[in-house]
Amino acid sequence: MTAENRLREQICQLAKSMFDRGLTGGSTGNISARTDDGGLLVSPTGTSFGRLDPGRLSRFDATGKLIGGDAPTKEMPLHSAFYDTRSTAGAVVHLHCCNAVALSMMPDADEDNFLPPLTPYAIMKLGKVRLLPFFRPGDAAMGKAVRSLAGKRSAVMLANHGPVVAGKDVEAACNAIEELEDTARLALMTRGLQPRMLNAAQITDIVTHFDVDWEE
């Protein structure tokens, strides 16, 4: 099996795992990954994470030209924005996971640092998550909003919509977006209960020890 075929299989397996566990439903969500030649494999428009076909993934060459597969997701501007501004991005995942979306609707949501510091893992895998305003699905303005961050964030939360996460590879991106959803769930579970969060010194220690890109 070629490296590209292995990547195709991996994308579909990870997407199905997230679908089967209810992280995104119906035909929602999209996923992409860099190929060895600098191109992209992307989930097609209108497809379900539970039923992606490795042979029908949208295939782009290194110049951004669609050269194979079905038509890509309408959220390509989001994916392109991360690849163009973060040299370390090897994959991008976007989900419509319920807890993260619910947290984005709260009136006191922190735009600069969306996730409260409840555990070390979201800090380690995501850094600070920027909460972006609501955009109509497919609106190219979402990509412009990500580009305005100049590559300083690996993850954003689209208000009333869902998270978007870039990782060094597709497995890392999927692990990180699942951590985002888990942390959002914890935040909702403990809302109003005054949970003990990590303090500034603990956060600094985690950021330093794990060399986290912690944009101030």
Known catalytic residues are: 75, 121
CA gap 139, 202 in Å, rounded: 39
Cα–Cα distance measured from residue 56 to residue 41, given in angstroms and rounded to the nearest whole number: 10
Interacting residues of 33 by C-beta distance below 8 A, sequence separation 6+: 7, 10, 11, 40, 41, 90, 91, 92, 169, 170, 173
Q: How far apart are the first and last CA of the chain?
A: 44
CA-closest candidate to residue 91, choices 176, 196, 210: 176
| Three-state DSSP state, 69 | coil
